[in-house]
Structure 1
């Protein structure tokens, strides 16, 4: 299937993608950003009628096979889940595997414009490298894809564009907004007047939702006298508002979230020092998979500013990337 614009937000926690379906509606998908090395054999096929096959795919990058998809295991022996939390994440084979996994699950074989996002503090460092790496024809194991052009934008701009699209005429280009994208590994913010980004008041730093999960895991380890490392399962439990299961015991995570508040407060303070006062902004737009975990601290830091938690914050960037790509694609076609 050929598509004019395909948007992928390869996050540290989840990989999200968006594109136009044949009917013209926006189709989206999401799966965990975990890519462990694929097993050399599978037992699920031997339990036909009893064991169901998992919804995963094997992606080959540089002769290594990685397993990924919606049903990838969130825990593994000795913590080897295939998670990658590093500042050069976008240059890793894990990132490439997740990107091609999104292409595979969408059933796309030819992309005229691929739109990707980067943390604000990594734009200058990696945007050109991403464009060069993913332009062209690729064979990733289960299929091939041709990518004509790659476009890279700051991640929080995706949320701004998506938020503006839901408001219609009520969104004014004369209004300023602070867009905060709380990701899995980084927290990024963009100060924008309309769609014009103010570089001096925009930024980002390591310190997203994963720092909270790691803090919670550490606190549980102290209470249970055990080394708890399954932060992916802690993430899932919080998102689904369920207890965390440990040795058959349900553990309420709410008290641990409160005890992790100093981690959040430190990140918010650094961001506050960067943006300064916000007397003239219309609102703070809060997005990203960790938005709910940071909302209280951000409200305390900016008590007089309207704070909007965007609908479906985890997928907002991917949907915004798609809109940005479609706008640029249409504009370039008119010029030609």
Structure 2
């Protein structure tokens, strides 16, 4: 049985795939996608493309590239992202990267506020099921699709890797998933989702990057831009160049996190007020976990705050494990 866990984010495309009974392979690509004719022409290096070529409704798309590569094409940063051509291009890219002729079960997630909308859930499930023309000469079939709240994938992945999972299985676990567009959280108690304590905040990683870019502009007089900071983080680079000078970005990211993080932490505390009992453990997953770790620890000083290894892959790995 071929299983694909796919997390199509606003910043990164994350995949976990393979046959049931094995350990999944994981892949990460930037979540940029645009028609091929919107890309700038390379001056040199006419060799291999650093993106995937797919088709969406007959239109050639480039997918898996940095979002700032496209000209006259807007990046999708809104709640209706799954219905866009860019999202479909990334979905097709994910099917190609998994190297499977047929996917027996695909598991993916939606931000919590979107997942709670039955119509959106059903639409995405229908959209991903069936035969897909991913390139002019290649079709890939997806037999079945399961859609879950995004942070649940990170919870399943973390518990799966524990030698003794009893602490998490018997506790009330607040799972916080900071992404590029939104920060999502769910409360899981005795293996059940507590819907009244789930939530979403738009004060996410993109807001932190915008704030850091603003502070850099105030100090150095030039606009680094959100995408350059995003690319630097993705490539594990600690500096960006502005007016010929290399600038250490860590202090600016830390300052921006300190400003934005407490806003999300306040929302988290408010969401738990509806419960008769608070959380026992906080699990931080997702690519933006590092931005919010200190604020979450300050908001819940008496709770254990845990982050899994490679948190950027946590949801995709968890989706795969749920499917397998």
Same-fold call, TM > 0.5?
yes
Mark the runs of 5 or more structure 2 residues left unpaired by the alignment: none
Q: Secondary structure at the match of 1:168?
A: coil
RMSD of Structure 2 on Structure 1 (CA): 2.5
Structure 1 residues 278 and 222 mapped into 2: Cα distance closer, same or farther (>3 Å)?
Answer: farther
Runs of at least 5 residues in structure 1 that lack an aligned partner in the other structure: 327-336
Matches within 5 A, 1:169-180: 169-172=164-167, 173-180=169-176
Counterpart position of 2:75: 83
In 2, Cα distance between equivalents of 1:279 and 1:300: 19
Q: 2:63 aligned with 1:68, yes or no?
A: yes
Alignment partner, residue 214 of structure 1: 210
* Corresponding residue SS for 1:132: helix
Structure 1 counterpart SS, 2:141: strand
Offset at 1:254?
2.3
Per-residue deviation, residues 154-177 of structure 1 (Å, max 9, x unmatched): 000001100100113333532211
Q: Does 1:268 align with 2:259?
A: no
Q: Is the 8 A contact 1:35 1:81 kept in 2?
A: no
- Which residue, out of 148, 152, 156, partners 1:157? 152
The answer to whether residue 109 in structure 2 is matched with residue 113 in structure 1 is no
Deviation of 1:74 after TM superposition, in Å, equals: 5.3
| Contact 2:155/2:318 (<8 A) preserved | yes
Q: Which moved more, 1:214-223 or 1:306-315?
A: 214-223
Q: Distance in 2 between matches of 1:28 and 1:238?
A: 19
Equivalent pair of 2:3/2:20 in contact (CA under 8 Å):
no
After TM superposition, the structure 1 stretch with the greater mean CA deviation from structure 2, 309-318 or 142-151, is 142-151
Partner deviation per Cα, 1:104-163 (whole Å, 9 max, x = no partner): 112122111111100010013311000111111111225211111111000000011001
1:249 alignment partner in structure 2: 245
Task: For 1:309 and 1:278, locate their aligned partners in 2 and report how far apart those are by CA, in whole Å.
Answer: 26
**1:135 equivalent in alignment to 2:129:** yes
d(CA) in 2 for partners of 1:63, 1:38: 12
Aligned length: 317
For normalisation by structure 2, the TM-score amounts to 0.89
Aligned to 1:200: 196
- Mapped partners of 2:125, 2:314: distance in 1: 22
Aligned partners of 1:90, 1:140: CA distance in 2, in Å? Answer: 17
